[in-house]
Amino acid sequence: MKILYKPFGIIAGLIGARIATAVFKAIWSHIDEEEPPKPTTEEASFPKVVGAAVLKASTAAGIGATVDRAGARAFHHLTGIWPGEQRPEK
């Protein structure tokens, strides 16, 4: 039954990626008026490039964990089966 979670998880991951991108752009717009620099942008300073990369990665990780957890809880609610790891019974 856990195999049914795979498509559910993939869809949740795609939604999470979209949300993370939107949240990153919203946060970056409060930091700088320009677009976030890519590592190969010549005019961008090193701290600005690294800061943008760190912010993007942390936003993606946080949103990804939130969406994964919400998806697992929704799947559990619908099927009664937890799709991930469980604590071993003592």
Give a yes or no: residue 84 inside a domain.
no
| Total domain count, the chain | 1
Give a yes or no: residue 28 inside a domain.
yes
Q: What is the pLDDT of residue 43?
A: 92
Q: What is the pLDDT of residue 4?
A: 84
Q: What is the pLDDT of residue 1?
A: 64
Structural domain of 36 = 2-79
Give a yes or no: residue 89 inside a domain.
no
pTM of the full predicted structure? Answer: 0.81
Give a yes or no: residue 38 inside a domain.
yes
User: What does each of the 90 residues of the chain score in pLDDT, given as a tens digit?
Assistant: 678 888 888 999 999 999 999 999 999 999 999 999 999 999 999 999 999 999 999 999 999 999 999 999 999 999 998 888 888 777
Structure tokens at 75: 């799947």
Give a yes or no: residue 9 inside a domain.
yes
Give a yes or no: residue 37 inside a domain.
yes
The greatest distance separating any two alpha carbons of the chain, rounded to the nearest whole angstrom, comes to 59
Query: Would you give the distance in Å from CA 21 to the centre of its chain?
Result: 8
